[in-house]
């Protein structure tokens, strides 16, 4: 029974990683959803999306979106000049997984260590 639980968890983690990888590809594809520029052209390295995973509401284009999926479509249509994708589609699941991964990346990021000061010559 424990083996089945471990196998299930390992499969879920692998599946989530695969979704993120596919989402990253879409995020960096200028032609995704018929668009003319990639999401990464405005959100290099996920800039501005670090808190997207926790938000319940988004304010974009003077309107309120009630989900991350709706917010992604606003960017696809308004900024990337593409066509909205079905909020229940595999592509949307992949995009959502990748956008949510920026939270993890921020939490795991460690500040750069400052180099030790060298004593001045002659002291």
Residue 16 located in a structural domain: no
Whichever domain contains 83, its CATH number is 1.10.760.10
- Residue 112 clears pLDDT 60, i.e. is over it: no
> CA-CA distance, 89 to 32, in Å (whole number)?
14
Contact indicator for 113, 57 with CB cutoff of 8 Å: no
Among 29, 46, 35, 24, which residue's Cα sits nearest to residue 76?
35
Name the burial class of residue 38, with classes exposed (0-12), middle (13-18) and buried (19+) by CB atoms within 10 angstroms of its CB.
middle
| pLDDT 10s digits, 34-62 | 999 999 999 999 999 999 999 999 999 89
Residue-wise pLDDT tens digits, 8-43: 444 444 445 799 999 999 999 999 999 999 999 999
In this prediction the pTM is 0.71
- To the nearest whole percent, how much of the chain has pLDDT over 90? 67
What whole-number distance in Å separates Cα of residue 18 and Cα of residue 23?
8
The total number of structural domains that make up the chain: 1
User: Among 72, 81, 73, 78, which residue's Cα sits nearest to residue 35?
Assistant: 81
Residue with tokens 């999926």: 69
Domain ranges, residue 47: 31-103
pLDDT band for position 83 (50/70/90)?
A: very high
In a domain, 35, yes or no: yes
Q: Is residue 11 part of a domain?
A: no
Q: What are phi and psi of 63, to 5 degrees?
A: -125, 165
In a domain, 76, yes or no: yes
- pLDDT of res. 61: 85
Beta bridge partners of 98: none
Task: Tell me if 25 is assigned to some domain.
Answer: no
Position 94 scores a pLDDT of 97
């Amino acid at each position: 029974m424990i083996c089945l639980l471990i196998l299930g968890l390992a499969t879920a983690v692998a599946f989530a990683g695969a979704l993120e990888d596919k989402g990253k590809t879409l995020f960096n594809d200028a032609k995704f959803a018929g668009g003319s520029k990639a999401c990464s052209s405005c959100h290099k390295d996920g800039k501005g999306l670090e808190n997207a995973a926790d938000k319940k509401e988004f304010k974009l284009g003077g309107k309120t979106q009630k989900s991350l999926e709706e917010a992604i479509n606003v960017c696809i249509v308004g900024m990337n000049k593409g066509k909205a994708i079905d909020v229940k589609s595999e592509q949307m699941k992949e995009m959502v997984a990748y956008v949510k991964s920026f939270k993890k990346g921020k939490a795991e990021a460690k500040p750069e260590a400052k180099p030790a000061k060298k004593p001045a010559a002659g002291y």
